Amino acid sequence: MEYRQEVEMEIIQREITKGEDQLREFLRFRVLILQIERMEFWLWKCVMIGVLAFLLSLQSTHGIRFVLDRDECFSHSVPYEGDNVHVSFVVVKADAPWHYGDDGVDLVVKGPSGEQIHDSRDKTSEKFEFVVAKKGLHQFCFTNKSPYHETVDFDVHVGHFSYFDQHAKDEHFNPLLEQIAKLEEALYNIQFEQHWLEAQTDRQAVVNEGMSRRAVHKALFESAALIGASVLQVYLLRRLFERKLGTSRV
């Protein structure tokens, strides 16, 4: 009887040991699966970053700061129809030490066939966008009607969204690429807005500096005028007293 109980206990112990081994194997398998999933996540993350960097390198953006004398034209090629072209310009400063006016500049945008797309007159700053009806070389022409040079900050960004389902075959990979393209466009819109705000800040700094300089000059002129008036009053009073003294002596 005791021998039978010992055999049963040994069998139970073996089953318990076997179950523990199976549990260890299952846990090891789960840990391995988690490690693989983590590696796949980091791999996908690296792929997304790489694709995003590649797409960012393909985006078309063009920003310059130049001195405008009379007329200046720039050309920018837009390779796709239906693209959104974002344009901004700011007249940062005018090379006129004693005068600051809001005359602004003119901007005319023309398409590849010479058709007029946009026309701005006497603007110190503007931001707009348009949809490309015909791909090709677009002209951006500035005109300065003032007698002094003006520094203009000019920025152009062409946003192109690719529909990857027209070429890709992996239905699970297409949404990822589309989201990356949307993120790319959002980043470039942020960069476009940031450039616009920086140019506006530079313009405001120039305006404030000019106003401060004129205020100092005005204060100096008023002080000189007051001193001159005081000296003149002293001189006139002295002459008056001298005449009165001369008359009283006679």
Residue 213 lies in a domain: no
pLDDT at 163 > cutoff 60: no
Kindly report the three-state secondary structure assignment for every residue of 175-229. Answer: HHHHHHHHHHHHHHHHHHHHHHHHHHHHHHHHHHHHHHHHHHHHHHHHHHHHHHH
195 and 185 in a single domain? The answer is yes
Which structure tokens are listed for 58?
């393909």
Which structure tokens are listed for 83?
């693209």
Percent of the chain with pLDDT over 70: 63
The total number of structural domains in the chain stands at: 2
50 and 91 in a single domain? The answer is no
Kindly report, residue by residue over 170-186, the tens digit of the pLDDT.
Answer: 565 567 677 777 777 77
**Can you give the residue range of the structural domain that contains 96?**
60-202
Distance, CA of 109 to CA of 121 (rounded, Å)? 12
Kindly report, residue by residue over 61-118, the tens digit of the pLDDT.
Answer: 557 889 998 999 999 999 888 888 999 999 988 887 655 555 689 999 999 999 999 9
Residue 134 lies in a domain: yes
In this prediction the pTM is 0.53
What's the pLDDT at 168?
47
Distance, CA of 133 to CA of 95 (rounded, Å)? 38
What's the pLDDT at 121?
92
176 and 107 in a single domain? The answer is yes
6 and 26 in a single domain? The answer is yes
CATH number at 161 reads 2.60.120.680
Q: Which residue has the higher pLDDT, 167 or 237?
A: 237
Residue 217 lies in a domain: no
Query: What mean pLDDT is predicted for residues 217-245?
Result: 81
68 and 26 in a single domain? The answer is no
Q: Given 168, 183, 202, which residue is the final one in a domain?
A: 202
pLDDT at 230 > cutoff 80: yes
35 and 76 in a single domain? The answer is no
Which of 129, 233, 138, 232 has its CA nearest to residue 185? 129
What's the pLDDT at 173?
59
Residue 249 lies in a domain: no
109 and 34 in a single domain? The answer is no
The H or E element containing residue 244 is helix 174-249
pLDDT at 200 > cutoff 50: yes
What's the pLDDT at 89?
92
96 and 13 in a single domain? The answer is no
What's the pLDDT at 105?
93
Residue 189 lies in a domain: yes
Residue 175 lies in a domain: yes
What's the pLDDT at 64?
86
* DSSP letters for 116-175: EEEEEEEESEEEEEEE-SS-EEEEEEEE--SSS-EEEEEEEEEE----GGGT---TTTHH
122 and 44 in a single domain? The answer is no
Q: Which residue has the higher pLDDT, 163 or 136?
A: 136
Q: Given 28, 43, 58, which residue is the final one in a domain?
A: 58
Q: Is the separation of the CB atoms in 143 and 106 below 8 Å?
A: yes
What's the pLDDT at 25?
65
10 and 127 in a single domain? The answer is no
Kindly report, residue by residue over 39-60, the tens digit of the pLDDT.
Answer: 555 555 555 555 555 544 444 5
pLDDT at 164 > cutoff 60: no
Distance, CA of 142 to CA of 137 (rounded, Å)? 16
Residue 247 lies in a domain: no
118 and 129 in a single domain? The answer is yes
pLDDT tier, 12 (very low <50, low <70, confident <90, very high otherwise):
low
163 and 77 in a single domain? The answer is yes
CA-based end-to-end distance of the chain: 163
Which of 192, 199, 74, 200 has its CA nearest to residue 128? 192
Q: Is the separation of the CB atoms in 92 and 151 below 8 Å?
A: yes
Residue 52 lies in a domain: yes
What's the pLDDT at 166?
47
